[in-house]
Amino acid sequence: MLKVIGIVGSPRAGGNTEFMVETALKEIEKKGIKTELITLHDRNIGYCVGCDSCKTTNKCIIEDDMQELTEKVKNADGVIMSSPVYFGDMTGLAKSFIDRLRPLRNVHAFKYKVCGAIATGGFRNGGQETTIHSIYDFFLIQGGIVVGDDRPTAHFGATGVGNTSEDEIAITTCKHLANRMVDVLNKINND
Ligand SMILES: Cc1cc2nc3c(=O)[nH]c(=O)nc-3n(C[C@H](O)[C@H](O)[C@H](O)COP(=O)(O)O)c2cc1C
């Protein structure tokens, strides 16, 4: 069975980002694909120290929760990465997580993964798109297959403002992102 994981890059439990990821994953589940929501706020994730040992061993020397999380990413068919906007970009927590996934790059683990992004901020034009672009950079450098939200919205993934449980555009773009990911996942894996 295909599986999509949704990673919540907020340091806050049960916040606006988490709501959006949940919304997207629920939509994906409706289409018969297994999902798992992964929060980072409750994990021990150190930052990459740039020792480069992963370039020869394909493993990270730091022993923390990233060993388990790296396996989860490696085994997923689709990955949603999300973050609230912090000063126009992703949170430090989200960036640490992304940097620590470097061991997967050597083995081209993202080659056939369908990748989507979610960002939310306190303000309209607060940096949702710049945050999403940073997440897209990560996916592209990992060699993943990046998709945005589906038509008719079809822009830069899923974006929210303020309380996302009351933000119709946040909810709609999360659902459209989910639909687009399912569409491409099925095309790659079943057709
Ligand atoms: C340090 C910090 C920086 C922030 N910078 C921005 C920003 O640049 N643009 C914006 O729209 N919101 C900004 N915000 C607001 C958050 O993105 C917003 O409250 C978001 O809904 C939090 O998501 P969460 O509930 O998932 O943690 C910032 C919040 C913090 C704590």
Q: Tell how far the Cα of 89 is from the centroid of ligand 1, in angstroms.
A: 9
Mean pLDDT, the chain, rounded, equals 97
Query: Which pair of tokens denotes residue 82?
Result: 């999300």
Provide the pLDDT for residue 190: 81
Alpha carbon nearest to ligand 1 atom 2, residue:
86
Q: What is the mean pLDDT of residues 42-62?
A: 97
**pLDDT tens column, 82-100:** 999 999 999 999 999 999 9
How far are the Cα atoms of 71, 75, 141, 145, 147 from residue 188, in angstroms, in the given order? 21, 16, 20, 10, 13
Would the CB of 164 count as within 6 Å of ligand 1?
Answer: no
Q: Given this model, what pLDDT does residue 187 score?
A: 96
Q: Is the CB of 39 under 6 A from ligand 1?
A: no
Share of the chain above pLDDT 90, in %: 98
pLDDT over 70 percentage in the chain:
99
Cα–Cα dist 169/163, whole Å: 11
Ligand 1 atom having least distance to the Cα of 85 = 17
Nearest residue to 175 (alpha-carbon basis) of 114, 121, 116: 116
Cα 24 from chain centre: 11
pLDDT in tens, 108-149: 999 999 999 999 999 999 999 999 999 999 999 999 999 999
Residue nearest (by alpha carbon) to ligand 1 atom 4: 86
Domains of the chain: 3-190 (3.40.50.360)
Q: Is the CB of 16 under 6 A from ligand 1?
A: yes
Positions of E strands within 32-184:
34-39, 78-84, 114-121, 145-146, 158-161
Predicted pLDDT of residue 181? 98
In short, whether 124's Cβ falls inside 6 Å of ligand 1 is: no
Confidence at residue 148, expressed as pLDDT on a 0 to 100 scale: 97
**Rounded to two decimals, what is the model's pTM?**
0.98
According to the model, what pLDDT value does residue 58 have?
Answer: 95
